Chains A and B, each alone.
Chain A
């Protein structure tokens, strides 16, 4: 006879099987590869790979750039999407077309956008022509350290819409009475948003920040499309390191870098998540 518990496991089985095959098994397999020498014989070398890549200047450069880009992009998305959400809330029903416009970039394929971005920031592109017209010189946006600017701009522009959607949903859950009371007490807009809105939507805000940060770590294809496998040092990310190592058949370095990074991210999020307010616990 099927009990409730047995039925539960039966229904969960397909999903769990997929999780096992496509997540757990590769995850554990990856750890194994990070402990081998990378030859076809897969000889175990312990933690030698971890020691070696942490001593590698380029790995540290990639890690640093990934963290920097994420620490620039994620707060930008967080702040801008929060502000825009608040503005859209004040418009009421009239905010709908604006919200749709802001969501559009999220739906456009990145490769299509990159072509446009390349045209904009190319040496002979619109931005530089404008710059020359205004009396300034041309900037090597796509070949120099300045590539950070178009990359961050592209990332923010593409992902802000999604964050706005999440914030907008959260803002709707805040009772209007709280703002009425606050206005009656003489609180201005800034106090209302920082003392009422943010604390009440903290779990959602955390989610937005996490998503923005995680996605920011994945800034790679934009840079790869524009700058190739070896872009300027300022935008050489950890993903570049892993991608190039994969191309060189250094699977052990790819997995070592990936797990090193995973540990860092887990620790950071763990610290953030430990704060009560973030978890939504009273």
Chain B
């Protein structure tokens, strides 16, 4: 008896000890999850195209098949394989239907084949995809046709932007860009017969299933969405659409004027239990309650919800929403209490890999970009930081266009010196990059982006014309003169990607500015070098260049222009990824593209200087979320991708292999195989056209196979390092001659002939002197 009670006591104590673990498990089950589609491809090719909810399961469609996910699972599982590219290689009679959009009516999964306007049921219960009998949809009016240069007519079907199944009808919202309007058309198709019904109700931008056979719709005339009188967007209305009467009853408006402003319509969803409407805006989901009040209820780590068709925001049975971006589904609670307690506001950032890496490591912080705000000067930015009205925590600022140094001196930037992550980053940087972030030995700004602006040209075009390659500004002027004297009349070449004489005039000032900035000298124009360069420009008949200007609004002129090879290829920046292609592309390909990048010399004795434009990340010294801001910045730096590291750190010289190269090659092969199968059945002009297309594809394939292996090859890195040897980072001060308004006006007057060179030099130097002395 005593033993029985002892045993019960031991079991009780044992169960008691399990309680904390149970509580921990309960606490750690986060309402917010990010679920990836795990497939062989690492970038883009497993992108989710469409999603649908059936019961407790979320199904997503990607090029490889249909994946499923149940709440609690760590990843998607392949429910049924259906590689649509592989299907194209099969004879037509053996091919399974294409699935463009995955849909659910709550009872059944459906697939829509957008190319052939068919709808069919889908059954994947057995692990194999079983297609129901397809119903042909009357979508003839959504067929678009075009004729190729070979005179072959092709047609394609418009894909709906949004689609949903309700009460035996497939409702589709189509865009009408081909009719030069931003407004959309709502159609419905009977799922049993395919019969189409069109509606006169206008300006619908989003649809969601409602009740009593009606739809919830968002409404706004997108062609007139901006009201100049108020300098704001017109509010988007919320309405109830009755398909029977083809009428919309407006029941209110959405509070945020930016709702639906990305040109992608509005993503809305009806929440039955709360009689509320959920809508997607920016990187959040907002709930609009029946009384019109709104509350943010979900935070998303990205704004990039560009793609996806069908149901863009499936609602799960537990009230959470699921949004798909790339190969990831973001499942989010719509309970405002589950929103991250901390938030960061970022000005000037972009959603690059480092940003995404930072967000991945801090799901407990809501990171939002400051919308609809642009600070054109350090003064405006400083006032905003002092007043705190925008609550900016982190800033990304380009050093060439805003006086970052002044912001640092004035104490607007937090001291980041204590962080070993930042210290390591700064120590590895090019010295000229490190300099822009340091002040009195402290790390106040982190360089996180760098673009270099080098001169570029097409050396093969120069060789064909028998012209020497220029290295100095004077030699560029001579090249222009020679071109117009000897070759322009033939009309077979362009002198530059930019027409007119503006580029040559700007090049005078930019080359001289780069030279002075690189040497670290105070800017003055009263030097023999500048006069020599100005005289070289004066010797060119710029009127001939201006007469040669092309009207790029005229399609015919523009096409003709781009058919011709070009000598100077300004507009192309050096790019690690494209370098090999530019250097080694076959003769005759892309004759407007460069094959040589170099720094422009002011004269023979000057170094070939290259200007770098850097963006720095600054943490607001008055930020109320300093810890979170520091975490973000550290995660950002740690998340810099391999290409960025090669760009910033002179010690990183290992070539970067393209992780997607094999997959792309495999895809290319599949596409070629599919084309060849289709070629066997083609005849006449269509066959000729297909043969030409296949030939071009094979050439592109060979090119990619050869040069697509690396994101940055050894040769590209070496070329980049050489350019960086004589580089400097542009700052507000060094850009003064090109950007300061008074100096710009003087420049215009000089180039317009209103000022002589001496007057221009005298007046410019006087202004530069004033600017310099003011700051002493």
Contacts and interface: CB of A to CB of B under 8 A. Distances in A.
Contacts of B621: 40
Interface string B387-431: 000000000000000010011011110000000000000000000
A273 B310 CA distance: 83
Given A39-B411, A40-B621, A230 B749 contact: no
18 contacts: A39-B409, A40-B386, A40-B410, A143-B746, A143-B749, A143-B755, A144-B763, A229-B741, A229-B742, A230-B767, A230-B770, A232-B763, A233-B766, A248-B379, A249-B378, A249-B382, A249-B406, A249-B410
Given A143-B749, A248-B774, A249-B410, 9 more contacts: A39-B411, A40-B386, A41-B411, A123-B749, A143-B746, A232-B766, A244-B774, A248-B406, A249-B407
Contact of B754 (A124, A229, A232, A233): A124
A110 B740 CA distance: 25
A56 interface: yes
Q: Which 5 A-B pairs have the closest CB atoms?
A: A228-B742, A39-B411, A40-B411, A230-B767, A58-B773
B553 interface: no
B379 A249 contact: yes
Contacts of B410: 38-40, 249
A282 interface: no
A40 B378 CA distance: 14
Interface in A117-144: 123-124, 140, 143-144
Contacts of A78: none
Contact of B774 (A140, A231, A245): A245
Interface string A190-216: 000000000000000000000000000
Contacts of A38: 410
Given A123-B749, A249-B379, A230 B755 contact: no
A268 interface: no
A217 interface: no
How many interface residues does chain A have, given as a range? 20 to 34
B407 A241 contact: no
Nearest to B753: A123
Summarize A's interface: helix, strand, loop or mixed: loop
Contacts of B385: 40
A140 B622 contact: no
A75 interface: no
Nearest to B383: A249
Interface string A211-254: 00000000000000001111111001000010011111100000
Contacts of B411: 39-41
Contacts of A248: 378-379, 403, 406, 774-775
Nearest to A145: B766
B745 interface: yes
A40 B379 contact: no
A232 B745 CA distance: 13
A10 B699 CA distance: 90
A125 to B, nearest CB: 11
B352 interface: no
Interface in A33-76: 38-41, 56-58
B771 interface: yes
A58 B770 contact: yes
B382 A231 contact: no
B759 interface: yes
A124 B749 CA distance: 11
Given A40-B621, A57-B773, A249-B406, A231 B742 contact: yes
Task: Indicate the size class of the contact surface on chain B.
Answer: 20 to 34
B23 to A, nearest CB: 45
A257 B700 CA distance: 67
Contact of B379 (A58, A227, A236, A247): A247
A245 B775 CA distance: 9
A58 to B, nearest CB: 4
Contacts of B742: 227-231
Interface in A135-162: 140, 143-144
Interface centre among A40, A229, A244, A247 (most CB of B within 10 A): A40
Nearest to A246: B379
Nearest to B775: A248
A124 B770 CA distance: 27
A244 B771 CA distance: 9
A249 B402 CA distance: 12
Given A236-B770, A248-B403, A249-B379, A228 B741 contact: yes
Interface string A145-187: 0000000000000000000000000000000000000000000
A246 B386 CA distance: 14
Interface string A251-279: 00000000000000000000000000000
B688 interface: no
Max chain A CB contacts within 10 Å: which of B382, B410, B621? B410
A145 to B, nearest CB: 10
B480 to A, nearest CB: 28
Contacts of B622: 40
Contacts of A232: 763, 766
Interface in B743-776: 745-746, 749, 754-755, 759, 763, 766-767, 770-771, 773-776
B703 interface: no
Given A40-B411, A40-B622, A248-B379, A241 B774 contact: yes
A195 to B, nearest CB: 48
B361 interface: no
B745 A228 contact: yes
B776 A56 contact: yes
A233 B746 CA distance: 15
B629 to A, nearest CB: 16
B377 interface: yes
Nearest to A231: B742
Contacts of A56: 773-774, 776
Nearest to A244: B774
Contacts of B749: 123, 143
Contacts of A124: 754
A231 B770 CA distance: 9
A240 B740 CA distance: 15
B754 A58 contact: no
Nearest to A232: B766
Contacts of B409: 39
Nearest to A253: B774
Contacts of B741: 228-229
B540 to A, nearest CB: 24
User: Which of A39, A144, A247, A248 neighbours the largest number of chain B CB atoms within 10 Å of its CB?
Assistant: A248
Contacts of B774: 56, 58, 241, 244-245, 248
Contacts of A227: 742
Contacts of A233: 766, 770
Contacts of B770: 58, 230, 233, 236
Contacts of B771: 230
A57 B775 CA distance: 10
A143 B763 contact: yes
A40 B620 CA distance: 11
B406 to A, nearest CB: 6
B769 to A, nearest CB: 8
A227 B379 CA distance: 21
A71 to B, nearest CB: 22
A230 B774 CA distance: 10
A249 B755 CA distance: 33
A241 B411 CA distance: 22
A165 B743 CA distance: 42
Interface hub of B377, B411, B755 (most chain A Cβ within 10 A) = B411
Contacts of A230: 740, 742, 767, 770-771
A56 B772 CA distance: 11
Contacts of A246: 379
Contacts of B763: 143-144, 232
B485 to A, nearest CB: 32
B765 to A, nearest CB: 11
